């Protein structure tokens, strides 16, 4: 079998134009999931009644359900449920006109909340309780202690895990094509469908994901080194 290199060159350029959609899916999901994940992590650390139990069950359930199944369930049921609720409430809006990327945001965010909460719980747990006591002893409140002492240190510890989570999420967004989102994978499938050049298209998709994921990992390494120097400088000055 001979590869159509001219097609691969053309398709590679088209796939590059779809990168912003994939990055947007990744970035928006992380922004939406982070605050909820952080709160669930705190609830489990401090064993907040009911909330800690809910967080534990939520994390177990979401991490135990394959992403493909989450997409099939939510994307199949949520539009119909919202349409029913809107009609009951007298809201004249056709939910089926909603951009499908919003369903992708919802599905990926629900999954990332569970993953990130475990990352934050582990990172915050790595910071000794003695630092909280020291902060309280000098008159700092817990919010200030977390903002100025615990979170910066926990962030340095969490950077490798956050990098893995981000890269994994970026790759998982390839499943957004199941919701008709024009990401890298969907663009490759569409380009291949005209002449059935699926092998060439998937090779292009493979190369684009390798490039994007590598750049993300490099960015995290640079950030990790910067935060590490900042932490070292803070400890030295302290």
Q: What confidence tens digit (pLDDT) does each residue in 32-60 have?
A: 999 999 999 989 988 889 999 999 999 99
pLDDT at 134: 74
Show the 3-state SS of the chain. CCCCHHHHHHHHHHHHHHHHHHHHHHHHHHHHHHHHHHHHHHHHHCCCCCHHHHHHHHHHHHHHCCHHHHHHHHHHHHHHHHHHHHHHHCCCCCHHHCCCHHHHHHHHHHHHHHHHHHHHHHHHHCCCCHHHHHHHHCCCCHHHHHHHHHHHHHHHHHHHHHHHHHHHHHHHHHHHHHHCCCCHHHHHHHHHHHHCCHHHHHHHHHHHHHHHHHHHHHHHHHHHHHHHHHHHHHHHHC
Between these two residues, 147 and 23, which has the higher pLDDT value? 23
Distance between terminal CA atoms of the chain? 66
pLDDT tens profile 106-118: 999 999 999 999 9
**By percentage, how much of the chain surpasses pLDDT 90?**
54
Q: Is the pLDDT of residue 235 over 60?
A: no
Confidence label for 129 from pLDDT (cuts 50, 70 and 90): low
Query: Which residues touch 30 (CB under 8 Å, ≥6 apart)?
Result: 112, 116, 166, 169
Angstrom distance (rounded) from CA 103 to CA 139: 46
Residue 93 has pLDDT above 90, yes or no: no
Write the CA distances from 47 to 52, 55, 131, integer angstroms.
5, 10, 19
Q: What is the mean pLDDT of the chain?
A: 88
pLDDT tens string 135-164: 777 777 777 777 777 777 888 888 899 999
pLDDT at 119: 94
Would you say residue 237 has pLDDT above 70? Answer: no
- As a whole number of angstroms, the distance between CA 185 and CA 84 comes to 32
**Helix, strand, coil % over all residues of the chain, rounded to 5:** 85, 0, 15
The stretch 202-211 carries a mean pLDDT of 96
Question: What is residue 41's three-state secondary structure?
Answer: helix
Could you give the CA distance from residue 217 to residue 222 in angstroms, rounded to a whole number?
A: 9
Split at pLDDT 50, 70, 90, the class of 97 is confident
Sorting pLDDT into bands at 50, 70 and 90, what band is 94?
Answer: confident
Residue 224: per-residue pLDDT: 82
DSSP label at residue 220: H
State both tokens at 154.
């926990």
**What confidence tens digit (pLDDT) does each residue in 54-91 have?**
999 999 999 899 999 999 888 888 888 888 898 888 88
């Amino acid at each position: 079998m001979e590869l159509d290199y001219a097609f691969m060159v053309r398709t590679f350029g088209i796939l590059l134009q779809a990168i912003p959609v994939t990055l947007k899916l990744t970035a928006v999901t992380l922004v939406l999931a982070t605050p909820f994940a952080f709160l669930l992590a705190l609830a489990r650390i401090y064993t907040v009644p009911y909330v800690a139990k809910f967080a534990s069950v939520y994390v177990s359930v979401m991490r135990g359900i394959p992403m493909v199944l989450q997409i099939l369930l939510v994307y199949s049921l949520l539009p119909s449920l919202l349409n029913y609720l809107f009609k009951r409430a007298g809201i004249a809006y056709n939910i089926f006109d909603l951009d499908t990327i919003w369903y992708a945001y919802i599905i990926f965010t629900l999954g990332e909340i569970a993953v990130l909460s475990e990352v934050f719980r582990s990172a915050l747990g790595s910071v000794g309780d003695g630092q909280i006591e020291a902060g309280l002893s000098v008159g700092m409140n817990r919010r200030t202690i977390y903002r100025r002492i615990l979170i910066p240190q926990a962030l340095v510890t969490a950077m490798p895990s956050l990098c893995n989570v981000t890269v994994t999420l970026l790759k998982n967004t390839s499943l957004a094509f199941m919701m008709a989102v024009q990401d890298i994978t969907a663009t490759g499938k569409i380009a291949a469908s005209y002449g059935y050049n699926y092998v060439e298209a998937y090779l292009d998709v493979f190369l684009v994901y390798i490039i994007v994921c590598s750049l993300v990992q490099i960015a995290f390494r640079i950030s990790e080194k910067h935060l590490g120097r900042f932490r070292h400088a803070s400890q030295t000055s302290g």
